[in-house]
Structure 1
Amino acid sequence: MAKLQKSIEKRNALIKATIELVNNNGFHATPMSKIAKMANVSPATIYLYFENKQDLVNQTYVEVKAEYTKYAFETYDENMPIEKGFKLIWKRIADFKLKECESAMFLAQCDNTPMIDEISRQEGIKHLQPLLNLWARGKNEGIIKPISDYLLYAYAINPLSFLMISQKRGAITLDANHIEEAYEAAWSSIKVCK
């Protein structure tokens, strides 16, 4: 059992080092040797858990995406009214991005570059299914604009990454009023105007 725990700890250290180094240096400037050094393991140890650097980054992405969406949907009930459900999910996403900044920054980088392979990207999208289902229901009920889910995500969710990065840079300190204003702007961008 101690051996299994040690193995899990090494793999987790590699994931954590990958997130930190990719966030600080980018994908291409993060060699396996640096990841191993930061994780305090030999470079050969990486290959016990991952086929190569691409596999390490892909698996890190899928794990972080799963952690992110688990948090986002933890208190969501699919029977909630559309706006109430969206607000709850949106606020949980905002909370995650501001509290788990390193993980959120890693996801933002992955979402905006070709460093993740398509299979892993599709696996990550599956984790967003409750939000996609909510939007589909909202479109059917005439509450959400009948536009692509990519556009809905771009207007309603992606601005949170910009705000998170701006706060990390020290350009803004987000308070409860900012979060509420950002939510209202997100909701306004995707709801059908009546």
Structure 2
Amino acid sequence: MVKLQKSIDKRNALIKATIDLVNNNGFHATAMSKIAKMANVSPATIYLYFENKQDLINQTYLEVKSKYTNFVFETYQENSSIKRGFEIIWRRIATFNRNECEYSFFLNQCNNTPMIDEPSRKEGIKHLQPLLDLWTRGKNEGVIKPYTDYLLYAFSINPISFLMMAQKQDEFNLTQEHIDAAFLAAWDSIKL
């Protein structure tokens, strides 16, 4: 049991080191040797858990995406009205981004890089299925604009990520009033 926990701890340390280094240095400047050093393991240990750097990045992305969506959809109920369901999801996204900055920053970088391979990206999108289902229902009921999910995401979800990034870089102080206004703008951008 102790050996299993040590193994889990090492893997978690590698994931954490990957997130920290990617957030501070970018994907390309994050060498496996730096990850191992920060995780306090030998470089060879990485290969007990991951095939290569690509596998490490993809698995880290999917693990963080899973934490993100577990939090985001925890209080969502499928029988909510379209607006209420969207508001619950959107505000949970805002809360996650605000409280889990390192994960949000990492996901933001993953969304804007070719480093994440296509199978991992598709798996990541599956994590958003409750939101995609809500939008489909909203389109079918004539409540949501008949745009692609990519456009709906770009107009309604990406802006809060942008604001969170601006706050992380000390360019903007995101207050509750800003969050409330950003939600209304997000809803207005997708509702019919």
Instruction: Report the counterpart of residue 5 of structure 2 in structure 1.
Output: 5
How far the C-alpha of 1:153 sits from its partner, in A, is 0.4
What stretches of structure 2 of length at least 5 have no aligned partner? none
What value does the CA root-mean-square deviation take over the aligned residues? 0.5
Cα distance in structure 2, aligned partners of 1:158 and 1:105: 12
Q: Counterpart of 1:11 in structure 2: which amino acid? A: R
Instruction: Report the counterpart of residue 35 of structure 1 in structure 2.
Output: 35
- Post-superposition Cα deviations, 1:66-113, rounded to whole Å, max 9, x if no partner, equal 100000000000000000000000000000011100001100000011
Match status 1:131 vs 2:136: no
Instruction: Report the counterpart of residue 90 of structure 2 in structure 1.
Output: 90
Cα distance in structure 2, aligned partners of 1:166 and 1:64: 21
Match status 1:149 vs 2:149: yes
Question: Normalising to structure 2: TM-score of the pair?
Answer: 0.99
Instruction: Report the counterpart of residue 100 of structure 1 in structure 2.
Output: 100
Instruction: Report the counterpart of residue 48 of structure 2 in structure 1.
Output: 48
Give SS of 2:36's match: helix
How far the C-alpha of 1:50 sits from its partner, in A, is 0.0
Cα distance in structure 2, aligned partners of 1:69 and 1:27: 23
Q: Counterpart of 2:83 in structure 1: which amino acid? A: E
Give SS of 1:6's match: helix
How far the C-alpha of 1:171 sits from its partner, in A, is 1.2
How far the C-alpha of 1:119 sits from its partner, in A, is 0.3
Q: Counterpart of 1:106 in structure 2: which amino acid? A: F
Runs of 4+ in 1 over 3 A off after TM superposition: none
Q: Counterpart of 2:65 in structure 1: which amino acid? A: K
- Post-superposition Cα deviations, 1:36-68, rounded to whole Å, max 9, x if no partner, equal 000010000000000000000000000100100
How far the C-alpha of 1:134 sits from its partner, in A, is 0.2
Give SS of 2:151's match: helix
Cα distance in structure 2, aligned partners of 1:106 and 1:169: 14
Cα distance in structure 2, aligned partners of 1:160 and 1:15: 25
Question: Normalising to structure 1: TM-score of the pair?
Answer: 0.98
Instruction: Report the counterpart of residue 109 of structure 1 in structure 2.
Output: 109
Instruction: Report the counterpart of residue 163 of structure 1 in structure 2.
Output: 163
Cα distance in structure 2, aligned partners of 1:24 and 1:113: 15
How far the C-alpha of 1:128 sits from its partner, in A, is 0.2
Instruction: Report the counterpart of residue 181 of structure 1 in structure 2.
Output: 181
Cα distance in structure 1, aligned partners of 2:28 and 2:74: 34
What stretches of structure 1 of length at least 5 have no aligned partner? none
Aligned residue pairs total 192
Cα distance in structure 2, aligned partners of 1:148 and 1:87: 19
